[in-house]
Amino acid sequence: MRKFFYLSLCAAGFVGISTIASAQYGPPESPYRPAKVDALIDQVHNDLNQGYDHWKLNNGDRERLNKAEAKLRSFGKDWEHGKFDKGDLDDSMGTIQKVLNENHLSGAQRDSLSNDVDQLRHMREAYERHEIGNW
């Protein structure tokens, strides 16, 4: 009897932890699931690479964008493990947005990159509304 009680308690705990871990990313169709966030980060990378072929950036801006992308990748890795690193996300979005605002980037690449930042901003807002993350 004692063994049955112990196994039942362990099973209930596992189900509870699984439910909580799943809930931090939002509903199953949520754009904030780790795989979808990784896809968005890959899209930022692709949009930056395509933009580098068209834009005339000074070395400082290019270096800032590369560092922003590295922080964004770090954010994605943390998010896969349930950690929402506001600092990495905010720094990345801010840096990319600053280059978008201060440089006269043009073309579809600029629009795509701006759209990427908007999607990241929506994720940050969902976190602030406690729709995702560990609370």
- The dihedral over CA atoms of 61, 66, 70, 76, expressed in degrees to the nearest 10, equals 90
The predicted structure's pLDDT at residue 84: 95
Q: CA-to-CA distance for 65 and 133, rounded, in angstroms? A: 26
Stretch 59-80: mean pLDDT: 94
> pLDDT tens, 19-52?
444 568 888 889 999 999 999 999 999 999 998 8
Q: CA-to-CA distance for 93 and 64, rounded, in angstroms? A: 11
Q: Which amino acid is at 56?
A: K
